[in-house]
Amino acid sequence: MPVTRLIAAALAATMALTPLAGAAGLDSTVRPVARPMPIDASPRPEPRPAVTREASLEPVQISTANRGFQRWIQDFRARALAQGISARVFDRAFSDVRYNADVISRDRNQSEFTKTIWDYLDSAASATRIRNGRAALREHARLLDRIEARYGVDKEVVVAVWGLESAYGTYRGSTPIIEALATLAYDGRRGRFFEQQLIAALKILQSGDTDARHMTGSWAGAMGHTQFIPTSYLAYAVDFTGDGRRDIWSDDPADALASTAAYLARFGWTRGQPWGVEVRLPRDFDVQLADRDVRRSPAQWAAMGVRDMNGRAVPDYGRASILLPAGARGAAFMIFDNFAVIERYNTADAYVIGVGHLSDRLKGGPAIQADWPRGDRALRFAERKELQERLTRAGFDTRGIDGKIGPNTIAAVRAYQRSVGLIPDGYASLDLLKRLR
Ligand SMILES: [Ca+2]
């Protein structure tokens, strides 16, 4: 599971902040499997109405799907029991389970949602989310101080994860997890992954941490205040309240927030180190150095003219890379090892910057100061594939046509940009695609 390889600077035009689709600048195949929330990188809106079962049912389709589904459950039962799930736990967990068409329609529609990083960040660090986050810090001050003391992770970062994952607990998801995961496992598009999650969910029920009625979450199986998927829950959730149950679902966020801190600590959170710092690059900066594989000390970057937004050298928090998430015309960040720790939650650059920036705002820090290329729109999935096809045909091999703008595509974009005399920032924009046409 643990994917140690970091994703190269995602200098992509667009972010497809969608379940497993990743950002355009990311290759979702290198996402760590065990991160708490692999599915939906969008910041949760302030509470939104759930789609009701009644509204989502399409009777004719369902009756057919449900017959196949019931057969699948019987086959799966044998596999689950072989993996140590008791018949009693299994049968109780599945007693009310039906094929959930809403889950499948959401799974099918996910790749349609694309957002630019600036739109994402506008929502991630909206005035409402900042205000509610500060209120949460006040309301849970003692708890958060204890969690910070135990795990060494800044409380504002934990609260920022909470804010993005469930709008501070207001949107934890009301989909029955066993039903959602069973439907997705049966559907088969990512059947193996979801069957593994389903087994893990059954193990949670068997452990007695919660029961099926309370085990609710997002349509894709992320649970509780900070949206852990079942395998991550089994590996990393903690019982902070000491009642013997790791309860991330209840109104009390203590176990969930401690679990998030434990998770970040487990993946190497460095106390006192920022995730990143917005920086100003000198006019003659070689943007090819804005690459995750290029790591320098802040002093070395300062010697090249890289400054924080107040014109000062960035303090020595450790080795850092320069990230240009929207190319040379957008904001620049100096990012540290803690950036990669937040990536363990979700590898989309927009998500990591969203958590990091929201945490900064909760600490009283300023808004991101640089402009974004707001005239650009997000590249659609078909356009990202077309970009890869055209680059590859032009001799700049993207090593695959999958619609995901990962390190190979970014490298191809840079090589193409160099060949035609453009700034080689790796930014996969619509203008670039038009130029290739
Ligand atoms: Ca507990």
Rounded CA-CA distance 127/79 in Å is 48
CA gyration radius, the chain: 22
DSSP assigned state of 187: H
For position 47, what pLDDT does the model report?
40
Of 158 and 52, the one with more pLDDT: 158
**Could you tell me which of 40, 18, 15 has the C-alpha nearest to residue 26?**
15
Output the CA 248–ligand 1 centroid distance in Å: 8
Which residues, other chains included, contact 236 with Cβ-Cβ below 8 Å and sequence gap of 6+? 34, 36, 228, 259, 262, 263, 266
For position 406, what pLDDT does the model report?
85
CA angle, 193 as apex, 188 and 198 as ends, to 5°? 95
Output the CA 205–ligand 1 centroid distance in Å: 15
**Could you tell me which of 233, 206, 212 has the C-alpha nearest to residue 38?**
233
Output the CA 253–ligand 1 centroid distance in Å: 10
**Could you tell me which of 166, 191, 194, 192 has the C-alpha nearest to residue 181?**
194
**Could you tell me which of 90, 116, 148 has the C-alpha nearest to residue 12?**
116
Whole-structure pTM value: 0.86
For position 108, what pLDDT does the model report?
83
Output the CA 166–ligand 1 centroid distance in Å: 19
Q: What does 47-109 look like in DSSP terms, one character per residue?
A: --PPPPHHHH--HHHHHHHHHHHHHHHHHHHHHHHHTT--HHHHHHHTTT----HHHHHHHHH
Residue 245 has pLDDT above 90, yes or no: yes
Please check whether residue 149 is in contact with residue 258, taking contact to mean a CB–CB distance below 8 angstroms: no
Output the CA 207–ligand 1 centroid distance in Å: 13
Rounded CA-CA distance 408/249 in Å is 40
Point out the least confidently predicted range of 15-24, 222-231, 312-321, 331-340. 15-24
Output the CA 317–ligand 1 centroid distance in Å: 35
Output the CA 245–ligand 1 centroid distance in Å: 4
Output the CA 210–ligand 1 centroid distance in Å: 10
Output the CA 226–ligand 1 centroid distance in Å: 15
Dihedral angle computed from the Cα positions of residues 294, 298, 302 and 304, in that order, rounded to the nearest 10 degrees:
-10
Output the CA 47–ligand 1 centroid distance in Å: 25
Averaged pLDDT, 307-324: 97
Q: pLDDT tens across 184-238, in order?
A: 999 988 899 999 999 999 999 999 999 999 999 999 999 999 999 999 999 999 9
Output the CA 181–ligand 1 centroid distance in Å: 24
Rounded CA-CA distance 299/306 in Å is 9
Output the CA 233–ligand 1 centroid distance in Å: 13
Number of H helices, E strands in the chain: 18, 6
Which residues, other chains included, contact 330 with Cβ-Cβ below 8 Å and sequence gap of 6+? 117, 118, 324, 370, 371, 372, 373
Output the CA 237–ligand 1 centroid distance in Å: 10
Q: Are strands 332-335 and 175-176 parallel, antiparallel or unpaired?
A: unpaired
Point out the least confidently predicted range of 83-97, 104-118, 316-330. 104-118
Which residues, other chains included, contact 388 with Cβ-Cβ below 8 Å and sequence gap of 6+? 398, 400, 401, 402, 403, 409, 412
Averaged pLDDT, 262-268: 98
Output the CA 258–ligand 1 centroid distance in Å: 10
Output the CA 238–ligand 1 centroid distance in Å: 8
Output the CA 87–ligand 1 centroid distance in Å: 26
Q: pLDDT tens across 47-103, in order?
A: 433 333 334 444 445 567 788 999 999 999 999 999 999 999 999 999 999 999 999
Output the CA 242–ligand 1 centroid distance in Å: 5
Output the CA 243–ligand 1 centroid distance in Å: 5
Compute how many other C-beta atoms are within 10 angstroms of the C-beta atom of residue 27. 22
For position 7, what pLDDT does the model report?
29
| Ramachandran angles phi, psi of 334, nearest 5° | -95, 120
Output the CA 58–ligand 1 centroid distance in Å: 39
Please check whether residue 333 is in contact with residue 349, taking contact to mean a CB–CB distance below 8 angstroms: no
Output the CA 103–ligand 1 centroid distance in Å: 29
For position 32, what pLDDT does the model report?
32
Output the CA 355–ligand 1 centroid distance in Å: 25
Beta strands in 131-223 (DSSP E): 175-176, 216-217
| Ramachandran angles phi, psi of 374, nearest 5° | -65, -15
**Could you tell me which of 420, 424, 383, 436 has the C-alpha nearest to residue 405?**
383
DSSP assigned state of 112: G
Output the CA 262–ligand 1 centroid distance in Å: 14
- Say how far residue 378 (Cα) sits from the centre of its chain: 18
Please check whether residue 340 is in contact with residue 319, taking contact to mean a CB–CB distance below 8 angstroms: no
Please check whether residue 35 is in contact with residue 232, taking contact to mean a CB–CB distance below 8 angstroms: yes
Output the CA 208–ligand 1 centroid distance in Å: 12
Output the CA 313–ligand 1 centroid distance in Å: 44
